Protein backbone atom coordinates (compact mmCIF):
# COMPACT_ATOMS: atom_id res chain seq x y z
CA UNK A 1 0.00 0.00 0.00
CA UNK A 2 1.26 3.43 -0.91
CA UNK A 3 1.67 5.35 2.33
CA UNK A 4 1.99 8.80 0.77
CA UNK A 5 -1.33 10.64 0.69
CA UNK A 6 -2.20 11.75 -2.83
CA UNK A 7 -5.31 13.77 -3.65
CA UNK A 8 -6.44 15.41 -6.85
CA UNK A 9 -8.61 18.23 -8.13
CA UNK A 10 -10.00 17.38 -11.57
CA UNK A 11 -12.00 20.23 -13.12
CA UNK A 12 -13.85 19.91 -16.39
CA UNK A 13 -12.98 22.97 -18.53
CA UNK A 14 -16.51 23.63 -19.77
CA UNK A 15 -16.85 26.96 -17.94
CA UNK A 16 -15.12 29.32 -15.54
CA UNK A 17 -13.76 27.93 -12.27
CA UNK A 18 -16.81 27.85 -9.98
CA UNK A 19 -16.85 28.83 -6.31
CA UNK A 20 -17.83 25.25 -5.48
CA UNK A 21 -14.94 23.87 -7.51
CA UNK A 22 -12.50 26.24 -5.84
CA UNK A 23 -13.72 25.09 -2.41
CA UNK A 24 -13.21 21.44 -3.44
CA UNK A 25 -9.69 22.27 -4.67
CA UNK A 26 -8.96 24.07 -1.40
CA UNK A 27 -10.09 21.16 0.79
CA UNK A 28 -7.91 18.79 -1.25
CA UNK A 29 -4.97 21.18 -1.04
CA UNK A 30 -5.30 21.66 2.73
CA UNK A 31 -5.71 17.91 3.31
CA UNK A 32 -2.57 17.20 1.28
CA UNK A 33 -0.52 19.90 3.01
CA UNK A 34 -1.75 18.91 6.50
CA UNK A 35 -0.68 15.32 5.85
CA UNK A 36 2.51 16.20 3.97
CA UNK A 37 1.07 14.55 0.88
CA UNK A 38 0.75 15.51 -2.78
CA UNK A 39 -1.90 17.70 -4.46
CA UNK A 40 -2.43 16.77 -8.12
CA UNK A 41 -4.23 18.79 -10.79
CA UNK A 42 -5.85 16.85 -13.63
CA UNK A 43 -7.86 18.49 -16.41
CA UNK A 44 -10.87 16.39 -17.46
CA UNK A 45 -11.28 17.72 -20.98
CA UNK A 46 -12.85 14.73 -22.73
CA UNK A 47 -16.11 16.60 -23.38
CA UNK A 48 -14.94 17.62 -26.84
CA UNK A 49 -17.97 19.77 -27.63
CA UNK A 50 -17.80 21.91 -24.48
CA UNK A 51 -14.18 21.83 -23.27
CA UNK A 52 -11.91 24.70 -24.28
CA UNK A 53 -8.26 25.59 -23.73
CA UNK A 54 -9.44 28.98 -22.52
CA UNK A 55 -11.40 27.48 -19.65
CA UNK A 56 -8.49 25.13 -18.82
CA UNK A 57 -6.17 28.13 -18.63
CA UNK A 58 -8.70 30.11 -16.61
CA UNK A 59 -9.03 27.28 -14.06
CA UNK A 60 -5.26 27.05 -13.66
CA UNK A 61 -4.90 30.82 -13.33
CA UNK A 62 -7.68 30.84 -10.73
CA UNK A 63 -5.95 28.17 -8.65
CA UNK A 64 -2.62 29.99 -8.88
CA UNK A 65 -4.29 33.27 -7.87
CA UNK A 66 -5.71 31.52 -4.79
CA UNK A 67 -2.26 30.18 -4.00
CA UNK A 68 -3.33 26.55 -4.49
CA UNK A 69 -0.18 25.40 -6.25
CA UNK A 70 -0.21 21.78 -7.37
CA UNK A 71 2.65 19.33 -6.90
CA UNK A 72 1.90 17.47 -10.14
CA UNK A 73 -0.15 18.49 -13.15
CA UNK A 74 0.04 20.77 -16.18
CA UNK A 75 3.31 22.67 -16.10
CA UNK A 76 4.54 20.66 -13.11
CA UNK A 77 5.08 17.28 -14.70
CA UNK A 78 5.32 14.24 -12.45
CA UNK A 79 5.65 10.51 -13.03
CA UNK A 80 1.99 9.89 -13.84
CA UNK A 81 1.17 12.25 -16.70
CA UNK A 82 -0.06 13.41 -19.05
CA UNK A 83 -2.47 15.36 -16.87
CA UNK A 84 -4.96 16.29 -19.58
CA UNK A 85 -7.45 13.47 -20.14
CA UNK A 86 -7.66 14.31 -23.85
CA UNK A 87 -4.03 13.15 -24.08
CA UNK A 88 -4.82 9.81 -22.41
CA UNK A 89 -7.47 8.40 -24.77
CA UNK A 90 -5.42 5.34 -25.79
CA UNK A 91 -5.03 4.42 -22.12
CA UNK A 92 -8.80 4.38 -21.59
CA UNK A 93 -9.34 2.39 -24.78
CA UNK A 94 -6.87 -0.27 -23.66
CA UNK A 95 -8.57 -0.69 -20.30
CA UNK A 96 -12.05 -0.77 -21.87
CA UNK A 97 -10.97 -3.52 -24.27
CA UNK A 98 -9.47 -5.41 -21.35
CA UNK A 99 -12.96 -5.55 -19.81
CA UNK A 100 -14.41 -6.60 -23.18
CA UNK A 101 -11.92 -9.44 -23.42
CA UNK A 102 -12.83 -10.58 -19.91
CA UNK A 103 -16.55 -10.38 -20.81
CA UNK A 104 -17.10 -7.77 -18.10
CA UNK A 105 -18.25 -5.28 -20.73
CA UNK A 106 -19.97 -5.43 -24.12
CA UNK A 107 -20.69 -3.44 -27.26
CA UNK A 108 -24.01 -1.58 -27.22
CA UNK A 109 -25.58 -0.47 -30.51
CA UNK A 110 -28.64 1.33 -29.10
CA UNK A 111 -29.07 4.83 -30.50
CA UNK A 112 -29.64 7.88 -28.27
CA UNK A 113 -33.17 8.15 -29.70
CA UNK A 114 -33.98 4.54 -28.80
CA UNK A 115 -32.57 4.95 -25.32
CA UNK A 116 -34.58 8.12 -24.77
CA UNK A 117 -37.83 6.45 -25.89
CA UNK A 118 -37.27 3.49 -23.54
CA UNK A 119 -36.39 5.79 -20.65
CA UNK A 120 -39.61 7.74 -21.12
CA UNK A 121 -41.63 4.52 -21.33
CA UNK A 122 -40.11 3.17 -18.11
CA UNK A 123 -40.85 6.44 -16.32
CA UNK A 124 -44.43 6.34 -17.59
CA UNK A 125 -44.77 2.80 -16.25
CA UNK A 126 -43.42 3.87 -12.86
CA UNK A 127 -40.18 1.94 -13.28
CA UNK A 128 -36.72 3.19 -12.35
CA UNK A 129 -35.13 4.41 -15.63
CA UNK A 130 -32.03 2.35 -16.38
CA UNK A 131 -30.58 0.55 -19.35
CA UNK A 132 -32.59 -2.62 -20.07
CA UNK A 133 -29.60 -4.76 -21.10
CA UNK A 134 -30.87 -5.19 -24.65
CA UNK A 135 -27.38 -5.53 -26.17
CA UNK A 136 -25.89 -7.56 -23.31
CA UNK A 137 -26.03 -10.94 -25.04
CA UNK A 138 -25.97 -10.06 -28.73
CA UNK A 139 -24.96 -12.78 -31.18
CA UNK A 140 -22.22 -12.19 -33.75
CA UNK A 141 -24.91 -12.06 -36.43
CA UNK A 142 -26.88 -9.39 -34.59
CA UNK A 143 -23.72 -7.33 -34.13
CA UNK A 144 -22.90 -7.55 -37.83
CA UNK A 145 -26.43 -6.48 -38.70
CA UNK A 146 -26.17 -3.35 -36.54
CA UNK A 147 -22.73 -2.52 -37.95
CA UNK A 148 -24.06 -2.82 -41.52
CA UNK A 149 -26.69 -0.25 -40.55
CA UNK A 150 -23.81 2.10 -39.75
CA UNK A 151 -24.36 2.06 -36.00
CA UNK A 152 -21.26 2.97 -33.98
CA UNK A 153 -21.27 1.10 -30.68
CA UNK A 154 -20.55 2.29 -27.20
CA UNK A 155 -19.01 -0.02 -24.62
CA UNK A 156 -21.11 -0.79 -21.54
CA UNK A 157 -19.97 -2.26 -18.24
CA UNK A 158 -21.87 -5.28 -16.96
CA UNK A 159 -23.31 -4.58 -13.52
CA UNK A 160 -24.19 -7.52 -11.30
CA UNK A 161 -27.97 -7.69 -11.19
CA UNK A 162 -28.10 -8.76 -7.54
CA UNK A 163 -26.51 -7.55 -4.34
CA UNK A 164 -25.44 -4.13 -3.18
CA UNK A 165 -22.42 -1.84 -3.49
CA UNK A 166 -21.26 -0.11 -0.34
CA UNK A 167 -19.59 3.28 -0.30
CA UNK A 168 -17.50 3.81 2.82
CA UNK A 169 -17.52 7.57 3.13
CA UNK A 170 -15.24 9.33 5.61
CA UNK A 171 -17.94 11.92 6.36
CA UNK A 172 -21.17 9.96 6.01
CA UNK A 173 -20.22 6.49 7.06
CA UNK A 174 -21.47 3.57 4.98
CA UNK A 175 -23.88 4.33 2.13
CA UNK A 176 -25.50 1.37 0.36
CA UNK A 177 -26.70 1.21 -3.27
CA UNK A 178 -28.69 -1.62 -4.85
CA UNK A 179 -26.95 -2.92 -7.95
CA UNK A 180 -30.22 -3.60 -9.75
CA UNK A 181 -30.91 0.16 -9.79
CA UNK A 182 -27.57 1.06 -11.36
CA UNK A 183 -27.99 -0.61 -14.74
CA UNK A 184 -25.23 -1.39 -17.21
CA UNK A 185 -23.51 1.93 -17.86
CA UNK A 186 -21.41 3.26 -20.71
CA UNK A 187 -17.65 3.40 -20.15
CA UNK A 188 -16.55 4.31 -23.68
CA UNK A 189 -18.64 6.47 -26.00
CA UNK A 190 -19.12 5.76 -29.68
CA UNK A 191 -16.54 8.44 -30.57
CA UNK A 192 -13.91 6.66 -28.45
CA UNK A 193 -13.92 9.11 -25.55
CA UNK A 194 -14.40 7.77 -22.03
CA UNK A 195 -17.26 8.60 -19.71
CA UNK A 196 -16.61 10.50 -16.48
CA UNK A 197 -16.93 7.42 -14.27
CA UNK A 198 -14.56 5.28 -16.34
CA UNK A 199 -11.81 7.86 -16.93
CA UNK A 200 -11.82 8.80 -13.25
CA UNK A 201 -11.26 5.25 -12.12
CA UNK A 202 -8.42 4.59 -14.57
CA UNK A 203 -6.68 7.89 -13.82
CA UNK A 204 -7.10 7.72 -10.05
CA UNK A 205 -5.59 4.23 -10.06
CA UNK A 206 -2.68 5.08 -12.37
CA UNK A 207 -1.97 8.34 -10.54
CA UNK A 208 -2.01 6.47 -7.20
CA UNK A 209 -4.74 8.66 -5.68
CA UNK A 210 -5.36 7.61 -2.08
CA UNK A 211 -8.25 9.93 -1.13
CA UNK A 212 -11.04 11.35 -3.28
CA UNK A 213 -12.49 14.52 -1.77
CA UNK A 214 -15.31 15.94 -3.87
CA UNK A 215 -18.82 17.39 -3.71
CA UNK A 216 -21.66 15.17 -2.53
CA UNK A 217 -23.36 15.62 -5.91
CA UNK A 218 -20.88 12.93 -7.03
CA UNK A 219 -21.98 10.42 -4.40
CA UNK A 220 -24.34 8.70 -6.86
CA UNK A 221 -21.38 8.11 -9.22
CA UNK A 222 -19.31 6.37 -6.58
CA UNK A 223 -20.97 2.90 -6.58
CA UNK A 224 -20.39 2.60 -10.34
CA UNK A 225 -16.78 3.60 -9.87
CA UNK A 226 -16.32 1.11 -7.02
CA UNK A 227 -17.66 -1.67 -9.27
CA UNK A 228 -15.06 -0.69 -11.86
CA UNK A 229 -12.26 -0.69 -9.28
CA UNK A 230 -13.31 -4.15 -8.19
CA UNK A 231 -13.57 -5.50 -11.73
CA UNK A 232 -9.95 -4.51 -12.39
CA UNK A 233 -8.76 -5.65 -8.98
CA UNK A 234 -7.73 -2.07 -8.12
CA UNK A 235 -7.59 -0.83 -4.52
CA UNK A 236 -10.52 1.53 -3.87
CA UNK A 237 -9.42 5.01 -2.68
CA UNK A 238 -10.98 6.46 0.45
CA UNK A 239 -13.88 8.80 -0.31
CA UNK A 240 -15.12 11.96 1.37
CA UNK A 241 -18.15 13.66 -0.20
CA UNK A 242 -18.33 17.21 1.10
CA UNK A 243 -21.65 19.09 1.35
CA UNK A 244 -22.84 21.25 -1.50
CA UNK A 245 -22.68 25.05 -1.41
CA UNK A 246 -26.13 26.61 -1.51
CA UNK A 247 -27.46 30.12 -2.07
CA UNK A 248 -29.14 32.00 0.77
CA UNK A 249 -32.51 30.65 -0.43
CA UNK A 250 -31.34 27.08 0.15
CA UNK A 251 -31.11 26.20 -3.56
CA UNK A 252 -27.95 24.96 -5.27
CA UNK A 253 -25.59 27.88 -5.86
CA UNK A 254 -26.11 29.19 -9.38
CA UNK A 255 -25.95 32.39 -11.42
CA UNK A 256 -29.33 33.49 -10.13
CA UNK A 257 -27.70 33.97 -6.73
CA UNK A 258 -25.17 36.36 -8.26
CA UNK A 259 -21.65 35.78 -9.51
CA UNK A 260 -20.34 32.26 -8.94
CA UNK A 261 -17.00 32.26 -10.78
CA UNK A 262 -13.64 32.86 -9.13
CA UNK A 263 -12.59 35.15 -12.00
CA UNK A 264 -15.46 37.54 -11.19
CA UNK A 265 -14.29 38.02 -7.61
CA UNK A 266 -10.73 38.43 -8.77
CA UNK A 267 -11.73 41.18 -11.21
CA UNK A 268 -13.90 42.92 -8.62
CA UNK A 269 -10.90 43.24 -6.34
CA UNK A 270 -11.31 40.57 -3.72
CA UNK A 271 -8.02 39.56 -2.13
CA UNK A 272 -7.00 35.97 -2.90
CA UNK A 273 -6.49 35.14 0.76
CA UNK A 274 -9.94 36.48 1.61
CA UNK A 275 -11.39 34.00 -0.87
CA UNK A 276 -9.34 31.15 0.58
CA UNK A 277 -10.24 32.04 4.16
CA UNK A 278 -13.93 32.40 3.34
CA UNK A 279 -14.14 29.23 1.22
CA UNK A 280 -12.47 27.25 4.00
CA UNK A 281 -15.33 28.19 6.31
CA UNK A 282 -17.96 26.87 3.87
CA UNK A 283 -18.56 23.49 5.47
CA UNK A 284 -15.55 23.42 7.81
CA UNK A 285 -14.92 25.05 11.17
CA UNK A 286 -12.79 24.86 14.30
CA UNK A 287 -14.13 24.14 17.76
CA UNK A 288 -13.66 27.77 18.78
CA UNK A 289 -15.32 29.07 15.56
CA UNK A 290 -12.19 30.96 14.48
CA UNK A 291 -12.89 33.28 11.54
CA UNK A 292 -9.53 34.59 10.37
CA UNK A 293 -6.59 32.32 9.54
CA UNK A 294 -3.09 32.53 8.16
CA UNK A 295 -2.12 29.93 5.56
CA UNK A 296 -0.04 28.08 8.16
CA UNK A 297 -2.97 28.00 10.61
CA UNK A 298 -5.37 26.63 8.00
CA UNK A 299 -2.96 23.87 7.01
CA UNK A 300 -2.27 22.97 10.64
CA UNK A 301 -5.93 22.95 11.75
CA UNK A 302 -7.66 21.46 8.70
CA UNK A 303 -8.96 17.91 9.11
CA UNK A 304 -11.81 16.08 7.41
CA UNK A 305 -13.29 15.29 10.82
CA UNK A 306 -14.21 18.96 11.19
CA UNK A 307 -16.08 19.09 7.87
CA UNK A 308 -19.81 19.26 8.56
CA UNK A 309 -22.52 17.15 6.99
CA UNK A 310 -24.87 20.07 6.29
CA UNK A 311 -24.77 22.17 3.15
CA UNK A 312 -22.90 25.46 3.40
CA UNK A 313 -24.53 28.79 2.56
CA UNK A 314 -22.64 31.20 0.33
CA UNK A 315 -23.17 34.71 1.67
CA UNK A 316 -21.74 37.47 -0.61
CA UNK A 317 -22.25 40.07 2.13
CA UNK A 318 -20.09 38.15 4.58
CA UNK A 319 -17.44 37.65 1.92
CA UNK A 320 -17.39 41.39 1.23
CA UNK A 321 -17.21 42.16 4.96
CA UNK A 322 -14.27 39.77 5.36
CA UNK A 323 -12.50 41.34 2.39
CA UNK A 324 -12.92 44.78 3.93
CA UNK A 325 -11.45 43.47 7.19
CA UNK A 326 -8.38 42.15 5.41
CA UNK A 327 -7.98 45.40 3.46
CA UNK A 328 -8.03 47.40 6.69
CA UNK A 329 -5.25 45.20 8.09
CA UNK A 330 -2.95 45.84 5.14
CA UNK A 331 -0.04 48.26 5.10
CA UNK A 332 -0.98 51.30 3.02
CA UNK A 333 2.02 50.84 0.69
CA UNK A 334 0.97 47.28 -0.11
CA UNK A 335 -2.65 48.31 -0.65
CA UNK A 336 -1.57 51.19 -2.87
CA UNK A 337 0.24 48.82 -5.23
CA UNK A 338 -2.93 46.70 -5.51
CA UNK A 339 -5.16 49.73 -6.19
CA UNK A 340 -3.04 51.30 -8.94
CA UNK A 341 -4.10 48.78 -11.66
CA UNK A 342 -7.76 49.66 -11.01
CA UNK A 343 -7.01 53.39 -11.24
CA UNK A 344 -5.16 52.78 -14.51
CA UNK A 345 -7.97 50.66 -15.93
CA UNK A 346 -10.45 53.45 -15.16
CA UNK A 347 -8.19 55.97 -16.88
CA UNK A 348 -7.71 58.00 -13.69
CA UNK A 349 -3.91 57.72 -13.85
CA UNK A 350 -1.54 57.08 -16.73
CA UNK A 351 0.66 54.10 -17.42
CA UNK A 352 3.77 55.50 -15.79
CA UNK A 353 3.31 56.69 -12.22
CA UNK A 354 5.71 59.54 -11.38
CA UNK A 355 6.82 60.02 -7.75
CA UNK A 356 4.41 62.91 -7.16
CA UNK A 357 1.40 60.92 -8.40
CA UNK A 358 2.55 57.86 -6.46
CA UNK A 359 2.72 59.90 -3.27
CA UNK A 360 -0.76 61.29 -3.96
CA UNK A 361 -2.20 57.81 -4.52
CA UNK A 362 -0.72 56.58 -1.26
CA UNK A 363 -2.27 59.52 0.59
CA UNK A 364 -5.64 58.72 -1.02
CA UNK A 365 -5.21 55.08 -0.01
CA UNK A 366 -4.70 56.05 3.63
CA UNK A 367 -7.80 58.27 3.48
CA UNK A 368 -10.04 55.66 1.86
CA UNK A 369 -8.67 52.45 3.39
CA UNK A 370 -11.34 52.25 6.11
CA UNK A 371 -14.12 52.47 3.51
CA UNK A 372 -12.82 50.11 0.82
CA UNK A 373 -14.44 46.67 0.78
CA UNK A 374 -13.19 45.59 -2.65
CA UNK A 375 -10.23 46.95 -4.58
CA UNK A 376 -12.38 47.96 -7.56
CA UNK A 377 -14.36 50.37 -5.36
CA UNK A 378 -11.39 52.75 -5.36
CA UNK A 379 -12.40 54.08 -8.78
CA UNK A 380 -15.74 55.41 -7.48
CA UNK A 381 -14.41 56.46 -4.10
CA UNK A 382 -11.39 58.30 -5.44
CA UNK A 383 -12.59 59.56 -8.82
CA UNK A 384 -12.98 63.15 -7.60
CA UNK A 385 -9.31 63.31 -6.61
CA UNK A 386 -8.23 62.81 -10.22
CA UNK A 387 -11.05 64.20 -12.37
CA UNK A 388 -11.37 67.95 -12.54
CA UNK A 389 -14.72 67.85 -14.29
CA UNK A 390 -16.37 65.22 -12.09
CA UNK A 391 -20.15 65.04 -11.88
CA UNK A 392 -22.09 66.21 -8.84
CA UNK A 393 -24.58 63.97 -7.14
CA UNK A 394 -27.94 65.67 -7.82
CA UNK A 395 -29.31 64.77 -4.40
CA UNK A 396 -26.20 66.25 -2.79
CA UNK A 397 -26.65 69.49 -4.73
CA UNK A 398 -30.33 69.65 -3.80
CA UNK A 399 -29.71 68.93 -0.14
CA UNK A 400 -26.54 70.92 0.54
CA UNK A 401 -26.12 73.69 -2.03
CA UNK A 402 -29.59 75.08 -2.67
CA UNK A 403 -29.60 77.16 0.47
CA UNK A 404 -29.58 80.97 0.46
CA UNK A 405 -26.52 81.23 2.67
CA UNK A 406 -24.29 78.90 0.63
CA UNK A 407 -22.92 81.31 -2.06
CA UNK A 408 -21.76 83.88 0.50
CA UNK A 409 -20.33 81.10 2.71
CA UNK A 410 -18.31 79.60 -0.13
CA UNK A 411 -16.99 83.04 -1.07
CA UNK A 412 -15.78 83.59 2.50
CA UNK A 413 -14.20 80.13 2.54
CA UNK A 414 -12.43 80.92 -0.73
CA UNK A 415 -10.99 84.15 0.62
CA UNK A 416 -9.70 82.45 3.75
CA UNK A 417 -8.13 79.59 1.80
CA UNK A 418 -6.19 82.11 -0.29
CA UNK A 419 -4.46 83.26 2.87
CA UNK A 420 -3.49 79.81 4.12
CA UNK A 421 0.20 78.93 3.99
CA UNK A 422 1.32 76.22 4.18
CA UNK A 423 -1.83 74.52 2.92
CA UNK A 424 -2.25 71.76 5.51
CA UNK A 425 -5.31 70.09 6.98
CA UNK A 426 -4.55 71.68 10.36
CA UNK A 427 -4.29 75.21 8.95
CA UNK A 428 -7.38 74.66 6.81
CA UNK A 429 -9.46 73.58 9.79
CA UNK A 430 -8.25 76.57 11.84
CA UNK A 431 -9.37 78.90 9.06
CA UNK A 432 -12.75 77.31 8.25
CA UNK A 433 -14.15 76.02 11.55
CA UNK A 434 -14.61 79.48 13.15
CA UNK A 435 -17.03 80.44 10.33
CA UNK A 436 -19.74 78.43 12.00
CA UNK A 437 -19.73 80.71 15.05
CA UNK A 438 -19.15 83.87 13.05
CA UNK A 439 -22.11 83.17 10.73
CA UNK A 440 -24.33 81.51 13.37
CA UNK A 441 -24.30 78.24 11.44
CA UNK A 442 -23.76 74.67 12.62
CA UNK A 443 -20.47 73.04 11.68
CA UNK A 444 -22.45 70.77 9.36
CA UNK A 445 -23.96 73.78 7.57
CA UNK A 446 -20.41 75.00 6.93
CA UNK A 447 -18.68 71.73 6.13
CA UNK A 448 -21.32 69.98 4.00
CA UNK A 449 -21.48 72.58 1.18
CA UNK A 450 -17.68 72.63 1.02
CA UNK A 451 -17.54 68.82 0.81
CA UNK A 452 -20.02 68.77 -2.09
CA UNK A 453 -18.09 71.55 -3.83
CA UNK A 454 -14.84 69.59 -3.58
CA UNK A 455 -16.09 66.02 -4.17
CA UNK A 456 -19.61 66.16 -5.62
CA UNK A 457 -20.74 63.84 -2.80
CA UNK A 458 -22.12 64.05 0.72
CA UNK A 459 -19.91 61.31 2.15
CA UNK A 460 -16.23 60.52 2.04
CA UNK A 461 -13.00 60.76 4.00
CA UNK A 462 -12.17 63.61 6.35
CA UNK A 463 -12.93 66.97 4.71
CA UNK A 464 -9.70 68.75 5.60
CA UNK A 465 -7.59 65.66 4.89
CA UNK A 466 -9.03 65.28 1.37
CA UNK A 467 -8.70 69.01 0.70
CA UNK A 468 -4.99 68.85 1.56
CA UNK A 469 -4.50 66.01 -0.94
CA UNK A 470 -6.41 67.90 -3.66
CA UNK A 471 -4.17 70.94 -3.13
CA UNK A 472 -4.79 74.65 -2.63
CA UNK A 473 -5.07 75.74 -6.26
CA UNK A 474 -7.46 72.92 -7.17
CA UNK A 475 -9.61 73.53 -4.06
CA UNK A 476 -9.98 77.19 -5.06
CA UNK A 477 -10.84 76.22 -8.65
CA UNK A 478 -13.51 73.78 -7.49
CA UNK A 479 -15.12 76.35 -5.21
CA UNK A 480 -15.18 78.80 -8.09
CA UNK A 481 -16.70 76.12 -10.32
CA UNK A 482 -19.54 75.39 -7.89
CA UNK A 483 -20.22 79.09 -7.36
CA UNK A 484 -20.66 79.51 -11.10
CA UNK A 485 -22.93 76.47 -11.21
CA UNK A 486 -25.09 77.83 -8.40
CA UNK A 487 -25.30 81.16 -10.21
CA UNK A 488 -26.38 79.44 -13.45
CA UNK A 489 -29.19 77.45 -11.81
CA UNK A 490 -30.50 80.31 -9.65
Buried b / exposed e over 373-389, threshold 16 CB at 10 Å, is bbbbbbbebbbbbbeee
User: How far is the C-alpha of 38 from the C-alpha of 72, rounded, in Å?
Assistant: 8
How does 318-342 read in b/e, with b if 16+ C-beta sit within 10 Å? ebbebbbeebeeeeeeebbeebbeb
Report residue 164: phi and psi, to 5°.
-135, 160
Active-site residue (options: 255, 309, 356, 403): 255
- Give helix 272-280 / helix 19-34 axis angle, nearest 10°: 80
Say if residues 402 and 451 touch (Cβ distance below 8 Å). Answer: no
Rounded distance, CA 95 to CA 199, Å? Answer: 10
CA within 13 Å, CB half, 142: 11
Q: How many CB atoms lie within 10 A of CB 404?
A: 8
Which of 458, 457, 450 is closest to 481 using CA atoms?
450
Instruction: Identify whether 255 is a catalytic site residue.
Output: yes
The CA-to-CA distance between both ends of the chain, in Å, stands at 86
Pairing of the two strands 245-246 and 238-242: unpaired
What does the alpha-carbon distance between residue 412 and residue 483 come to, in Å, rounded to a whole number?
Answer: 12
* Bridge partners for 58 per DSSP: none
SS3 state at 28: helix
Distance CA 485, CA 490 (A): 9
In terms of phi and psi (left: phi > 0; alpha: psi -120 to 50; beta: otherwise), the region of 163 is: left
Q: Which residues are catalytic?
A: 255
Amino acid sequence: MNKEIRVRFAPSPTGELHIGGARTALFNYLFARHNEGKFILRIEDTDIARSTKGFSQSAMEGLKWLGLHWDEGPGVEGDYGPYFQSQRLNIYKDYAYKLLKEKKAYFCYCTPEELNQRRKRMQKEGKFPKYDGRCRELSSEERRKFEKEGRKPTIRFKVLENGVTQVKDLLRGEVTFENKLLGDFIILKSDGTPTYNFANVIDDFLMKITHIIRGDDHLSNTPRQILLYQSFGFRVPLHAHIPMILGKDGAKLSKRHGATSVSYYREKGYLPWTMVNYLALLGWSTLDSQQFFSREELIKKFTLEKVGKSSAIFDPQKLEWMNGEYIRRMKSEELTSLLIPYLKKAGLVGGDIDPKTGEMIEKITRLEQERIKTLSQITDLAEFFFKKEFEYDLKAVEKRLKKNYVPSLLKKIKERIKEISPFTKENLEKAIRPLSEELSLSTGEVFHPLRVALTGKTKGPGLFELAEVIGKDEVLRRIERILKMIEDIS
